[in-house]
Amino acid sequence: MSDSSDEELIGGDGAEKWVLYRDRDEWNDVTPLSQDDGPNPIVAIAYSEKFKDSYDYFRAILKSGEKSERALGLTEDCIWLNPANYTVWQFRREILKALGKDLKEELKYIDKIIKYNSKNYQVWYHRKVIIEWLQDASEELEFTKAILKKDAKNYHAWQHRQWCIKTFNLYDQELEYVEQLLNEDVRNNSAWNQRYFVISNTTKFESNVINKEVDFALEKISLVKGNESAWNYLRGILMHDSAGLTHNDKVRKKCVELYEAGYRTNHLLACIIDICQNSCINDESPESIFHINNALKLCKELSENHDKIRERYWNYIGHQLLQKLETVS
């Protein structure tokens, strides 16, 4: 955290100015322990006076194993100065257990820390441990929802949300939440991933589920033809269909519709090529967009125009298609 002024408040929102630990009477009995970087550190870090002072005292109580109220307060200051320090968090958890602290109050504390450090692994791991100890995730969906409202693709928030849902069986209203997110931003790949997470953990991909999800994905593709997330979701769902991507009439029909309308998005063309790759050459008429000759043409278009960054990949796929053609010639 910022350490730019002596006027900065302890913990970021306290009522007193920061007082160095060496100047606090209640810490006179502790001998601070300096960090040992060796005699000739290659790159010596220019720690602030606050940081060095706080962590010198933290190392001292860590060494002595002191688990007290003042030690707990010291961990708060150290976390405020560096919320990514695993050792401080771990020792804080040991102190919480030793003192039998109110874990609901600890959640309020971590609410504040995550507010300022929402992409820090250690703060989310600490929250997970506290929820495990409490065996109560009743507030977690709303909490992560608030975080995701500010950053809809926060990986740590999504990871924590999925863990809570799976551990405490909180699937009931998750699809509705995901649909809300996709209505707000149909390109939200995290929301698409969450939809797959829910479907894969609540169904066995029965035919009616697959049909419903294919319809859902195709509807969203109609809104934004080049939406990679929706195309990837479609592929993921059809992996669980014995007919696969190749023989799904709805997908084939949508591909024809978009292709004949003049759309040439990477994902549409890739889908057409995939259908051709996995179908028998003789199954398609020469006029079909799924004929191998058209797929060869699309590989060339992708490598030269639409997806040049993956030129070598599309050339490789084109070579595979040629080999397939030669095999039956």
User: Which tens digit of pLDDT belongs to each residue from 202-220?
Assistant: 999 999 999 999 999 999 9
Please tell me whether the overall predicted TM-score, pTM, comes out greater than 0.85 for this model: yes
The structure tokens listed for 107 are: 């959640």
With 60 as the cut, is the pLDDT of residue 67 above it? yes
* Whole-angstrom distance, CA of residue 254 vs CA of residue 320: 25
pLDDT for the residue 278? 83
* Whole-angstrom distance, CA of residue 148 vs CA of residue 162: 13
With 60 as the cut, is the pLDDT of residue 10 above it? no
pLDDT for the residue 8? 46
Burial class (CB in 10 A: 0-12, 13-18, 19+), 270: buried
**Band (15; pLDDT cuts 50, 70, 90):** very low
* Whole-angstrom distance, CA of residue 33 vs CA of residue 64: 11
Confirm if 62 and 91 have CB atoms less than 8 A apart: yes
pLDDT tens-digit series, residues 106-117: 999 999 999 999
With 90 as the cut, is the pLDDT of residue 283 above it? no
Sequence ranges of the domains in the chain: 7-101, 264-328
pLDDT for the residue 329? 59
List residues with catalytic annotation: 119
Confirm if 217 and 233 have CB atoms less than 8 A apart: yes
Share of the chain above pLDDT 70, in %: 95
The secondary structure of 142-175 as a DSSP string is HHHHHHHHH-TT-HHHHHHHHHHHHHHT--TTHH
CATH of 7-101, one of 1.25.10, 2.60.40, 2.40.128, 1.25.40: 1.25.40
Element (H, E) at 259: helix 249-260
**Band (45; pLDDT cuts 50, 70, 90):** confident
* Whole-angstrom distance, CA of residue 199 vs CA of residue 310: 31
- Whole-number average pLDDT of the chain: 92
Q: Which residues pair with 17 in a beta bridge?
A: 9
**Band (16; pLDDT cuts 50, 70, 90):** low
Ranges 74-78, 182-186, 294-298, 322-326: which has the least confidence: 322-326
Confirm if 11 and 76 have CB atoms less than 8 A apart: yes
Q: Which amino acid is at 148?
A: L
* Whole-angstrom distance, CA of residue 183 vs CA of residue 191: 10
Secondary structure of residue 198 in the 3-state scheme: helix
DSSP designation for 17: B
**Band (286; pLDDT cuts 50, 70, 90):** confident
pLDDT tens-digit series, residues 122-148: 999 999 999 999 999 999 999 999 999
228-235 average pLDDT score? 97
What is the sign of the dihedral through the CA atoms of 279, 285, 289 and 294?
positive
Confirm if 161 and 141 have CB atoms less than 8 A apart: yes
* Whole-angstrom distance, CA of residue 241 vs CA of residue 218: 16
Confirm if 9 and 15 have CB atoms less than 8 A apart: yes
Confirm if 123 and 98 have CB atoms less than 8 A apart: no
261-284 average pLDDT score? 89
| Nearest Cα residue to 328 out of 291, 297, 298 | 291
* Whole-angstrom distance, CA of residue 306 vs CA of residue 310: 9
pLDDT for the residue 47? 86
Q: What are phi and psi of 17, to 5 degrees?
A: -70, 155
